[in-house]
Structure 1
């Protein structure tokens, strides 16, 4: 699943930044082959982080002291939101830059925090698209992840260097 997601971001990046609409299928499968290991490592790293946050929330519900519960839950939810938004950005950072695989989450988090207007725009557009998919379910089958990835990549490309 994660290598295919990276390949989708890679093809979308090629369309947005390079205006290259040729040989999409070939680029997709080439990207899967080239990024198989790193994409899986990134995806499972984020999956592990999200699992730990989920487990943390379950444990926090056992806290009986109200003030402690509210403060710890607030911090956990803020971290969770940052992780989810960084997860949205990490694949666009992955296909645009070449770093070691463990640096991508850091740069995705920096992009999330350093560009708050882009992040807010991203959240609003994704909520709008997901609501649209909810209201008109056939759009999910017609557009699927392509529209979501296009929105993420387009907004992330505003933050990337132009050269």
Structure 2
């Protein structure tokens, strides 16, 4: 095979793997009735891309995805319920600022809520990388590790936040591109960023 042929094959194989992973995520998301499928499907997706980042792109995809999905179904949904409560509390506080505080301090209250909300969102996103990489006995340890990544590596968290915002802008303004790249590309970038942090702390 020529050099150009190898490049074309590599590109085609990479595109195929990301598309296949997107389809698996959607399939298992639906299998969990949406609400109960989102967390385990996303954890399984992050686990797969972790193996790719480690240098094993051709391990059996469906069987491993199913194993990861089933293995983290209960625990990931418990964490999902926790974050749902946290986000709801943040939303309620945001909604009632105008009712309980003087107009002169609204900006400062909104600023505090925004800060807390940002930390919560980044902790939530880091939870997937942490669950994909570590095996803790206690569910609370995943929360501690995910939050620790935000506070211990604020610049890394900022980089992830920029990626999240860029991804949302693409989804809103270029839905066809968003459908093409899917959630697997988003997960791959986030996992790559966190995996580099794990390596620095000799946690790989």
Name which of 141, 149, 171 aligns with 1:111.
149
- C-alpha offsets along residues 76-109 of structure 1, whole Å, 9 cap, x if unaligned? 2111110011111111011111221122122111
Bigger Rg, which one: 2
How does the TM-score come out when normalised to structure 2?
0.74
In structure 2, distance between residues paired with 1:66 and 1:60: 9
In structure 2, distance between residues paired with 1:59 and 1:134: 28
Alignment partner, residue 8 of structure 1: 45
- Does the residue aligned with 1:62 lie in a helix, a strand or coil? helix
Quote the offset at 1:135 in angstroms: 3.2
Name which of 34, 39, 44 aligns with 2:81.
44
Name which of 69, 75, 98 aligns with 1:32.
69
Alignment partner, residue 158 of structure 1: 196
Change (3 A) 1:58 1:134: closer
Query: Which sections of structure 1, spanning at least 5 residues, go unmatched?
Result: none
In structure 2, distance between residues paired with 1:142 and 1:71: 40
Query: Which sections of structure 2, spanning at least 5 residues, go unmatched?
Result: 1-37
How does the TM-score come out when normalised to structure 1?
0.91
Alignment partner, residue 163 of structure 2: 125
Quote the offset at 1:68 in angstroms: 4.2
Q: Does 1:144 align with 2:182?
A: yes
What is the RMSD of the two structures over their aligned residues, measured on CA atoms?
A: 1.7
In structure 2, distance between residues paired with 1:142 and 1:12: 17
Name which of 38, 53, 64 aligns with 2:90.
53
- Does the residue aligned with 2:99 lie in a helix, a strand or coil? coil
Change (3 A) 1:72 1:135: closer
